[in-house]
Amino acid sequence: MLRAFTQRILIVAALLGCAAYAAIQIGMHWRDNLPVELGDAQQLEWQDLVPPAEPLADALSDVPINVRFDLGFIGKVIADANADIISREGPEYLNAMALLEKHRADGVDVDRFLASVTDRDQEIARRGEALNSSLDGELIRLPGYALPLQTEERGVTEFLLVPFVGACIHVPPPPPNQIVFAQLEKAYEVKSLYEPVLITGHLKAQSASTELFHIDGQAQVPMGYSMQVMHVEPIE
């Protein structure tokens, strides 16, 4: 559980870094490339798609560092066993349970700590699904990386706009409120996977999901936003 939380932190850090890089690359030159009727579009960054919320407290702030690592291992093993990824008869699970009993014998309230981490993980997941309803219907522009979904001879007509390279394929997908399902009025020619682009259109805040096919199979990807893209341009 702790390890999963750490992965989320790393993903968010990568997300914010990529968003900042894209914003620098775009600068103030977007106005020269937009049609006149789209000139009033509001420039957004990825964090704007997340509703404001109070910072989460550290569920393990009072736990010694060695116990933190052990709790991360135990929580991950329990989650894998519950998902039938590993057997409860296997050495990894048995070692985790022995470690759990050792900390209990030492007077560590591991059950309370594990429950706190579970509650925190659930809150992180809930926040990842929360949408900024104030942006619904707004004319906005947003930089990101295009992951093609639907292509035709002239180019791509549907793609997922994501905040960092590798999302949904090489690493777990971002939270739903960090994915925009983009539908284009005109096909756009992409030169590579995860091509950096700037899209402009009316944003729709509504949860949905789409099926993504990749080399390892297919998966349902939840997304919080969609856009009928009126203008798309590459980011150099």
CATH code of the domain in which 190 resides: 2.40.50.870
Number of domains the chain contains:
2
Please list, in sequence order, all residues whose beta carbon lies within 8 angstroms of the beta carbon of residue 134, skipping any fewer than 6 positions away. none
141 pLDDT band, cuts 50/70/90, is very high
Q: What is the mean pLDDT of residues 26-36?
A: 53
SS3 sequence of 92-103: HHHHHHHHHHHH
> Are 95 and 197 within one domain?
no
Write out the residue range of the structural domain in which residue 190 sits.
28-52+133-234
Percent of the chain having pLDDT more than 70?
80
Going by pLDDT thresholds of 50, 70 and 90, the confidence category of residue 19 is very low
pLDDT at 166: 74
What pTM, to 2 d.p., does this model score? 0.73
Tell me the average pLDDT of the chain: 83
Confidence class of residue 217 from pLDDT cuts 50, 70 and 90?
low
pLDDT in the model for residue 160: 94
In terms of domains, do 137 and 216 share one?
yes
Task: Give 167's pLDDT tier (boundaries 50, 70, 90).
Answer: low
Following CA atoms 203, 37, 18, 163 in sequence, which dihedral angle do they give, to the nearest 10 degrees? 30
> Does 222 share its domain with 156?
yes
Give the least confident one: 7-11, 34-38, 42-46, 190-194: 7-11
In a domain? residue 164: yes
Residue 204 lies in a domain: yes
Report pLDDT for 236: 79
**Mean pLDDT throughout 128-155?**
92
Rounded Cα gap, residues 80 and 75, in angstroms? 9
**Helices 65-82/110-129 angle, 10° precision:** 70
Looking at the fold, whether 150 and 38 belong to one and the same domain comes out as yes
Judge if 163 and 230 occupy the same domain.
yes
Q: What confidence category does residue 216 fall into, taking pLDDT thresholds of 50, 70 and 90?
A: low
Judged on CB neighbours under 10 Å (0-12, 13-18, 19+), 107 is exposed
Q: Which amino acid is at 79?
A: A
Pair 198, 97 in one domain: no
Residue 2 placed within a domain:
no
* H/E stretch holding 111: helix 110-129
Please tell me whether residues 153 and 213 are part of one structural domain.
Answer: yes
Q: Which of 80, 96, 129 is the last residue of a domain?
A: 129
Q: What is the predicted pLDDT for the residue at 176?
A: 96
Q: Are 74 and 118 within 8 A, CB to CB?
A: no
Report the DSSP pairing between strands 180-188 and 195-214.
unpaired
95 and 187 share a domain?
A: no
Closest alpha carbon to 108 in 76, 77, 79, 69? 69
Tokens 């292509």 identify what position?
151
Number of H-type helices and E-type strands within the chain: 5, 6
Considering the domain architecture, whether residues 84 and 48 belong to the same structural domain is answered as no
| Whole-number percent of the chain with pLDDT over 90 | 50
Clarify whether residues 139 and 206 are in a common domain.
Answer: yes
Q: Is the pLDDT of residue 38 over 70?
A: yes
Shared-domain flag, residues 224 and 111:
no
Any domain includes 219:
yes
Q: Which value, to the nearest 10 degrees, does the dihedral of the CA atoms of residues 91, 97, 99, 102 take?
A: -140
CB 22 within 8 A of CB 235: yes
| 153 within domain boundaries | yes
